[in-house]
Structure 1
Amino acid sequence: MTDQRSDHSSAPSGPPLLSVRDLSVAFRQMGVETLAVDHISFDLRKGETVALVGESGSGKSVSALSVMKLLPYPAASHPSGQILFRGRDLLIADEPTMRAVRGNDITIVFQEPMTSLNPLHTVGKQVAEVLILHKGYSEQAARSRAIGLLDKVGIPDPQERLDSYPHQLSGGQRQRVMIAMALANEPDLLIADEPTTALDVTVQAQILTLLKDLQREEGMAILFITHDLSIVRKIADRVCVMRYGKIVEQGPVAEIFERAQHPYTRELMAAEPKPMVRTDKGDGPVVMEARELKVWFPIKRGLLRRTVGHVKAVDGISIAVRQGRTLGIVGESGSGKTTLGLALLRLISSDGPIVFMGKPLQGLGFDAMRPNRRHMQVVFQDPYGSLSPRMSVSEIVAEGLTVHHPQLSDGERERRVVTALTDVGLDAETRHRYPHEFSGGQRQRIAIARAMVLEPSFVLLDEPTSALDRIVQAQIVDLLRDLQVRRNLTYLFISHDLKVVSALADDIIVMKNGKVVESGPAARVFKTPENDYTKALFAAAFDLETAGYGSPSP
């Protein structure tokens, strides 16, 4: 695998383009002031990439947003510090000055492009708007320039894609559109705030390569925000490690990775999910089975909305998951992973027999499926979106008990909620709080408790760690392993993070375009992948030697 790390020996020199000095950020709520960033300092030079890295809540994004003065003022304030951009202190700049800086001199790319792009406007209109507002382009000139920008960031058929809406593009293409918008006015500084977290490994590698190529062409500086140290090693020249609002360590990437001084930095580096020590679990009974399963979505066109074709999201897949084992499903975004999982749980329509614990499910209606629901549960990707903000943790976890065990007394229901929360490592005394009072990792534990309180036999884990930082990821993986051993659970684990899959799965299937291109025991597939697509997927994710399986076969 080619080493994609920056050439640190030729790191940029000269005066800083951006100099952050003794910066503090405080938030005031209900009369109480909380310090989110605590006296941090760092420099960023033209053509250089500096990474701010740390777990969720460490102050990374708050620091980056301060540079562009995008925090919710006056709730946010700066008790101390300077942000010097080309020698000018942006903290004391007025709004007209900042409007001139934003989009022209400094631009930003956020983590989730679907929340940044307007779903009602074409991508061409949104890219052109940047040029019209900041550079005074005519509509025709802006459209022509937008085509060139989309081509520059690797969008295929840019002239046709210009008239597409965001939902018609893949996740990677949407992120490329965001980068095109950020580069439209040839900025000196690009802030990239977790720009690859929601992307699969192959698209992630493409976006990182694109950013480095564009940096070389444009000579711009990049302030890269991430919680993933493996990305830092690939893209950054220098790194600042943040914790609890402070920079606890900073320096050249090679120096930090080889001779980290601070205990927290070493903890971050050791937080990679560890490969599972696989033991022979025997041939237990098959819990979930499907044969030649298909999920085809019709493509309708014309005034009469006639079906002219199908999107074959799942196209003839057969699987069998045995009790106590974990089947990992990997593949790029759009490969059909989640669609397969939802079809197995009968949450979307499909064709082909599905058998759960010896009972055929295909053809069962809503009422007939209900007795099976408590035996099959799901944990979703986003712990922020999957928990109702209007319900307390106790109500969230107890909801399934109310539906499936209405005969339980209030006391017995409360006892089961307490047990479920304790089992996932949460303090049961906090059960009357609401989701916004918990961290991302704690919210995911709440989601797991909600699934486990019904004592299911089969659990669909749909990207349950992708929104979490590495330290919390490792904790959640350990928790899932422990619950599986204690309860003899069967997991279907969907993820684009192959390091997490390698830490949890006994068996694996690799999907592409709705089909299985490779399958088998995880140890064998990771060590000696046979399919070219599988090899490319693994190469984009990590050097296989770090996963504990040895090098892949040539």
Structure 2
Amino acid sequence: MTADTPLLSVQDLSVAFRQGGKVSLAVDRISFDVHRGETVAIVGESGSGKSVSALSVMKLLPYPAASHPSGRILFKGEDLLAADEAAMRRVRGNAVTIIFQEPMTSLNPLHTIGQQVAETLILHKGMTAADARARTIELLGKVGIPDPAGRLDAYPHQLSGGQRQRVMIAMALANEPDLLIADEPTTALDVTVQAQILALLKDLQRELGMAILFITHDLGIVRRIADRVCVMKGGRIVEQGPVADIFERPQDPYTTALMAAEPQRRTRTTRAEAGTIMQADDLKVWFPVRRGLLRRTVGHIKAVDGISISVREGHTLGIVGESGSGKTTLGLALLRLIASDGPIVFMGRPIQGLGFKAMRPNRRFMQVVFQDPYGSLSPRMSVAEIVAEGLAIHHAGLDPEERDARVVAALVDVGIDPESRHRYPHEFSGGQRQRIAIARAMVLEPTFVLLDEPTSALDRIVQAQIVDLLRDLQAKRNLTYLFISHDLKVVSALADDIIVMKGGKVVESGAAERVFKAPENDYTKALFAAAFDLAATTHERPPT
């Protein structure tokens, strides 16, 4: 390779998928190069072909259902599409690594995180178990895992979404690859950790001369980290070039629309006298820490530590804070999906201490949209079956035609073509799966909905559409939302009230407009500064 030869050259690449007798084209003759030490970002709406293009580089598509009608993928001059499986095993995880979009489905739930990070070091570097353990601790510390030595024996479900994402980054960087493919690597991270991870990637890139192919829907990140950008729509690259040129002088109408898309806050009338639909006092969720041969409890992780909360009917309460602060744990405790201490009142009735059967009548009125849509959607069920499952339990009297009509209506509401309802989750993009998860929650017409990062996997255009959809549904049905997010721009667009969490406690709360305009707590100020300093790179302004 000469100095001018790209490390990776994708040439005239097409990707087709066969389902039954039908063939559909997901990527249509795209071409781009990535040079050593360079960061190239691919942006575009959900389903545009971004992730499919990246997975093609490592030949991780579901072959033989997937095929390449045209194109070459040259890595260090070798055509990976023509390489056999043995050759690809030498490339994957060693010269080329990938950070996947959804860490919970990428990490093995039966192995500790220490085992999973060390495995790649032992396999590709030939390290001893002791050396791999020491290197694993170092890597976990680099990506911001607190007490990395103490976390080696933790399983993926014992970490927050953001912490799981950081473990994936540690695994990808373990072997110091030539090319890192990052597929939405900061999706689950709060803004402060996001800034740290981006700085870490840039530092490692300079240190290793590593190239990065960065897939994201967050244009603030693209402006901050990328050298060049490719804009995809409908499987094609509609525009590419240096970041400054694309952001300042976009040529394609779609690029212009993408740059302009932003969730906007609407002025809406809420009832000041609205009753309280959900309330908890001095709520605690403590997880025991057990050590030793007899697994004695030696301490507790205080995920939620004495929080009192009140959610008004028809309002949206936003919960923000860094990864691991207890946001999701608080939401799940309020819905009685995990054990907690402290009284909880829902729709005027105490629900703390109710058994499974006693809680069931309440379940149709309280729904949840989880952070990881792929992990919460059964891969063995079609979309129609997934959305209709709650109807079969809570509206058992509906005949099949009525049930299907409700499913169709729910999918239309969230922008999913109802003709695709007999397909399976793996056939949809990450953003489309998130919309399916929202449809599943809304089809039961609940009164209280826990939204745990509902827009985290969506591109900006669809994100703004989903925020508008959630607001319209709220106004139409008088829904109450508990909205958990690390995207402060989305929270500012949707929330009426806000609480800021850190270390399992509430450090600040109040009307969203007041907190965003004049935060009082130092942590809140630092959180907002990280978010809107990042936003400033795309000329976005803090909410007012």
TM-score of the aligned structures, taking structure 2 as reference length: 0.87
Aligned with residue 289 of structure 1, among 279, 296, 300: 279
The offset of 1:416, in angstroms, is 5.5
The superposition leaves residues 142-198 of structure 1 with CA deviations (integer Å, 9 ceiling, x where unpaired) of 555555555555556655655655555555554444444433443322222221112
Cα distance in 2 between the residues matched to 1:405 and 1:188: 54
* C-alpha spacing 1:523/1:418, structure 2 compared with 1 (3 Å): same
Matched, 1:515 2:515: no
Aligned with residue 274 of structure 1, among 240, 264, 268: 264
The superposition leaves residues 493-544 of structure 1 with CA deviations (integer Å, 9 ceiling, x where unpaired) of 1222222111110100011122111101111111211112112222232347
The offset of 1:18, in angstroms, is 2.0
Cα distance in 2 between the residues matched to 1:327 and 1:356: 15
Higher Cα Rg: structure 1 or 2? 1
Cα distance in 1 between the residues matched to 2:114 and 2:407: 50
Cα distance in 2 between the residues matched to 1:497 and 1:505: 12
> In structure 1, what is the equivalent of residue 25 of structure 2?
35
| Partner SS, residue 318 of structure 1 | strand
The superposition leaves residues 114-150 of structure 1 with CA deviations (integer Å, 9 ceiling, x where unpaired) of 4444455555554444344334445555555555555
> In structure 1, what is the equivalent of residue 97 of structure 2?
107
Which deviates more from structure 2 when the two are superposed, residues 118-127 or residues 368-377? 118-127
Cα distance in 1 between the residues matched to 2:57 and 2:331: 42
| Partner SS, residue 542 of structure 1 | helix
Aligned with residue 519 of structure 2, among 526, 529, 544: 529
Cα distance in 2 between the residues matched to 1:529 and 1:272: 23
> In structure 1, what is the equivalent of residue 451 of structure 2?
461
Which deviates more from structure 2 when the two are superposed, residues 324-333 or residues 290-299? 290-299
Aligned with residue 236 of structure 1, among 203, 217, 226: 226
> In structure 2, what is the equivalent of residue 503 of structure 1?
493
| Equivalent residue pairs, number | 538
Which blocks of at least 5 consecutive residues in structure 1 are unaligned? Answer: 1-12
Aligned with residue 34 of structure 2, among 44, 49, 52: 44
Cα distance in 1 between the residues matched to 2:339 and 2:55: 43
* C-alpha spacing 1:128/1:337, structure 2 compared with 1 (3 Å): closer
Matched, 1:359 2:353: no
> In structure 2, what is the equivalent of residue 203 of structure 1?
193
Cα distance in 2 between the residues matched to 1:190 and 1:537: 28
AA of the residue aligned to 1:335? S
> In structure 2, what is the equivalent of residue 7 of structure 1?
none
The offset of 1:206, in angstroms, is 1.7
Aligned positions of 1:77-96 closer than 5 A = 77-96=67-86
* C-alpha spacing 1:88/1:448, structure 2 compared with 1 (3 Å): closer
Cα distance in 1 between the residues matched to 2:300 and 2:36: 49
Q: Percent identity?
A: 80
| Partner SS, residue 299 of structure 2 | strand
Aligned positions of 1:200-349 closer than 5 A = 200-279=190-269, 281-302=271-292, 304-349=294-339
Matched, 1:189 2:179: yes
Aligned with residue 64 of structure 1, among 33, 48, 54: 54
| Partner SS, residue 192 of structure 1 | strand
AA of the residue aligned to 2:336? R
Cα distance in 1 between the residues matched to 2:371 and 2:79: 40
Does the CA-based 8 Å contact 2:42-2:231 persist in structure 1? yes
The superposition leaves residues 389-422 of structure 1 with CA deviations (integer Å, 9 ceiling, x where unpaired) of 5556565555445544556677766665566556
The superposition leaves residues 374-401 of structure 1 with CA deviations (integer Å, 9 ceiling, x where unpaired) of 3333333344344445556565555445
* C-alpha spacing 1:52/1:307, structure 2 compared with 1 (3 Å): same
* C-alpha spacing 1:82/1:160, structure 2 compared with 1 (3 Å): same
Matched, 1:549 2:543: yes
The offset of 1:91, in angstroms, is 3.0
Cα distance in 1 between the residues matched to 2:427 and 2:229: 30
Cα distance in 2 between the residues matched to 1:457 and 1:29: 38
Which deviates more from structure 2 when the two are superposed, residues 144-153 or residues 366-375? 144-153
AA of the residue aligned to 1:108? I
Does the CA-based 8 Å contact 1:499-1:547 persist in structure 2? no
The offset of 1:351, in angstroms, is 2.6
The offset of 1:219, in angstroms, is 1.6
Which deviates more from structure 2 when the two are superposed, residues 345-354 or residues 169-178? 169-178
| Partner SS, residue 485 of structure 1 | helix
AA of the residue aligned to 2:173? L
